[in-house]
Amino acid sequence: MKFQVFKNGKAAEDLSLCGAYLFGTDGIAIRRAEISFRSGLIECEKANLETSGLALLWPIDGFGKELLPTTCLPERTRPYNLNVELARAKLMQIINKREEWSLFDGVDEIAEIAKGAQGLFIQAIENIAEPPLASRLADESLRKAVVFSETLAIKQADVLFDIRGTNHGFGQGCLGCRMDPSQISNPKHINKLLDLFGFVTIPINWAQIEPTRGNYDFSAFDACINAVGKKKVALGAGPVLCFSKEYLPDWLLNSRVGFEKIRDIAYQFVLNVVSRYAGNIRAWRVISGLNAFNHFGFSFEQVLEMTRAATMAVKAASDRGLKIIEITNPWGEYYATTPNTIPPLVYVDMVVQSGINFDAFALQMRFGKNADGMHIRDMMQISTMLDRFLPVVKPLYITDVEIPSQNGTGPQDGQAAGVWHKEWDQPKQAQWVEQFCKIALSKPFVDSVTYANLCDAENSIIANSGLLTAQFEPKKSYHALKKLREVIFNR
C-alpha cells in the first residue's frame, strides 16, 4: 500500500514518520509492518493483504501537529492521496460521533465549519485525478474538520459535565494527584497538594521497597502516610506490581526462576504491602501496564494468571480495598513492534471474560513525547477512546495524566511529539488540562482524574509537566484546576 504525500500542493521532499504505524479494521496495530518514505511517497509493507489504515504525526495549519489515522483501505498498486485519506477519516469520525452522541442541536454557531469541511472534501474527491489540487483542498477540509471535531467534543462534554454536576455525581476524590515521596518533608508540597486535591496517590516501586529478597524498606511509604493519612483526603497507592524493568528488584531480574515462582513471589509482595496499609489506603492500583510492559515475556495465559494472583492477594489482605487494574498506552501502538504484548482493549476483554475479581480499570494518559501512546491527539480522539470503556460496566480511573507547559528537546520536541494548537506554554497547558478533565469527568463511568506531577521534576516522564514550577510557584494549570474544582463543588 502506497500514499502520495503533498505539502502545500507539492510533492513532499521530506517527512518524519514519528509515531507511524499500520492498524487493521479492529484498530489493532499490525505487526511485522515496514513503513518508509522516499521521493514524496510512503510505502507500507505488511505480511498479509488485509484492509488496513495508516496513522502518523501530521501537521495541520493553525492547529498544530497531531497523530492522525486514515480510514482502513484495501491494498492496490495505485497510490492513495494521503492528504485526502486523512481528511476522509476525520470527517467519518465526526459523522459517527455526532450520531453516537446525538449531538445535532445547539451547534449552529459552528455548523458552517462542518459544511465547509464537507464541501472542500467533495471538491477534493472531484479533483482526485489532479493530486496536487486535491491535496490542497483536502488540507483545508482537514483543518476545518479538526477544529469542528474538537469543538464538538468539548460542547458534548460541557453538557454532560453540567448534568453530572447538577445531579451531584462527582465524588470528593474526582480530582487527584500523585504524591512525590522526595518532597514529603516540604510543607509547600503537602499544602498545595491538599489545597486542591481530594484524592492522593502514593507511588509504589517494588525495586525500592524490597531491594533484597525478604527485606522490606517501607520508610518512604510510611512518611507519606504520616504526612497525609490523617487529612480529609482519600488515599490510593500503586502500581503495586508493574513488570517494566525499572519496577523490578535486581534479585528477581537475576533469579532466572520460572513463571510459577515469579507469581508466588509477586503474590507475597502484594500481600505484605496491602496488609501493612489496609487501614489507610482505599484504592489499590494492583497491577499496571501488563498489556505493554512484560519484561519476563509472560504468555497470554500467564498474563491473566498474574493479574488474577495480584487481585487475589489484595482481596486476602483487605476486604474493603478497591482492586484496580491499570492499562497503559491505550491506542496500542506498542503492539506493532514489542513482542509479548497484548492490545489494550484485548487485555481488557480478557480480564472481564476470565472472571477475575476486581473493581475498576485505570487508564494512563500521557501526552507530549515521541514514544508509544504519548504523541499529541485532539480532544475528539481522546473522548472517543474513553467511550470505548463504556461497555465494560466497571468504573474507570484516569491516572498519571501529564502534558508539558513548555516545548522540550529530543523526544519532547514538538516536531517529534506533536503540538496542540501552538507551541506549549503555561496558558496552553492550562487550557488542555481543563478541557481534558471536563471531557473525562463528563463520562459517568469515569470515577476520577489523577494528575501525575504536582511540580516539575527531573524524573518526570514528560518534562515540564508539573502544575507547579520546581520552585513551587503555581502555574496557570494549577489555577485552572482550582477553578474547575470550585465549579464542581460550589453549585
pLDDT tens across 130-169, in order? 999 999 999 999 999 999 999 999 999 999 999 999 999 9
Mean pLDDT in residue range 169-178: 96
Tell me what pLDDT residue 377 has: 97
Q: How confident is the model at residue 104 (pLDDT cuts 50, 70, 90)?
A: low
Identify the band that residue 112 occupies on the pLDDT scale cut at 50, 70 and 90.
confident
Whether residue 407 has pLDDT greater than 80:
yes
Residue 34 phi/psi, 5° resolution? -120, 130
Query: CA nearest 317: which of 262, 279, 351?
Result: 279
pLDDT band (50, 70, 90) for residue 105: low
Does the pLDDT value for residue 315 go beyond 70? yes
Query: What is the mean predicted confidence (pLDDT) over 23-32?
Result: 95
The Cα 478–Cα 23 span in angstroms is: 37
pLDDT reading at 102 higher than 90: no
* Residue 455 burial by Cβ neighbours in a 10 Å radius (0-12, 13-18, 19+): buried
- pLDDT band (50, 70, 90) for residue 49: confident
Q: Is the pLDDT of residue 308 over 90?
A: yes
Q: Is the pLDDT of residue 385 over 70?
A: yes
Question: What is the mean predicted confidence (pLDDT) over 456-481?
Answer: 95
Does CATH place domain 171-489 in 3.20.20.80? Answer: yes
Residue 303 has pLDDT above 80, yes or no: yes
Note the pLDDT tens digit of each residue in 478-487: 999 999 999 9
Domain residue ranges in the chain: 2-161, 171-489
Confidence of residue 352 (pLDDT cuts 50, 70, 90): very high
Judge residue 102's burial from the number of C-beta atoms within 10 Å of its C-beta, 0-12 exposed, 13-18 middle, 19 or more buried: exposed
> Rounded mean pLDDT of 38-57?
94
Q: Which residues pair with 468 in a beta bridge?
A: 455, 474
Residue 149 confidence (pLDDT): 95
| Lowest-pLDDT choice from 20-24, 186-190, 262-266, 377-381 | 186-190
Confidence of residue 111 (pLDDT cuts 50, 70, 90): confident
pLDDT of residue 473: 96
Higher pLDDT, 475 or 185: 475
- Is pLDDT at 331 greater than 90 in this prediction? yes
Task: Indicate whether 217 pLDDT > 80.
Answer: yes
Asked if 322 contacts 364 with a C-beta cutoff of 8 angstroms, the reply is: no
Q: How far is residue 68's CA from residue 419's CA, in Å, rounded to a whole number?
A: 12
For the segment 366-380, the average pLDDT, to the nearest whole number, is 96
User: 427-433: which pairs have CB atoms within 8 A and are 24 or more residues apart?
Assistant: 427/476, 429/403, 429/404, 429/405, 429/475, 429/476, 429/477, 430/475, 430/476, 430/477, 430/479, 430/480, 431/480, 432/403, 433/401, 433/403, 433/467, 433/477, 433/480, 433/481
Q: Is a pLDDT exceeding 90 seen at residue 6? A: yes
Q: Which residues contact 417 (CB under 8 A, 6 or more apart)?
A: 18, 368, 369, 370, 374, 375, 376, 408, 411
275-289 pLDDT, tens digit each: 999 999 999 999 999
pLDDT value of residue 96? 94
- Per-residue pLDDT, averaged over 4-21, amounts to 95
pLDDT band for 412, please (50, 70, 90 cuts). very high
Mean pLDDT of 438-451: 98
* Residue 404 binned pLDDT confidence (cut-offs 50, 70, 90): very high
Flag whether pLDDT at 106 surpasses 90.
no
Average pLDDT over residues 112-122: 94
Average pLDDT across the chain, whole number? 95
Tell which wins on pLDDT, 231 or 402. 402
Mean pLDDT, residues 440-446 taken together: 97
Q: What is the mean pLDDT of residues 410-434?
A: 96
Q: pLDDT at residue 66 above 70? A: yes
User: How far is it, in rounded angstroms, from Cα 456 to Cα 476?
Assistant: 13
Q: pLDDT at residue 491 above 80?
A: no
Q: Angle at CA 431, nearest 5°, toward 137 and 429?
A: 100
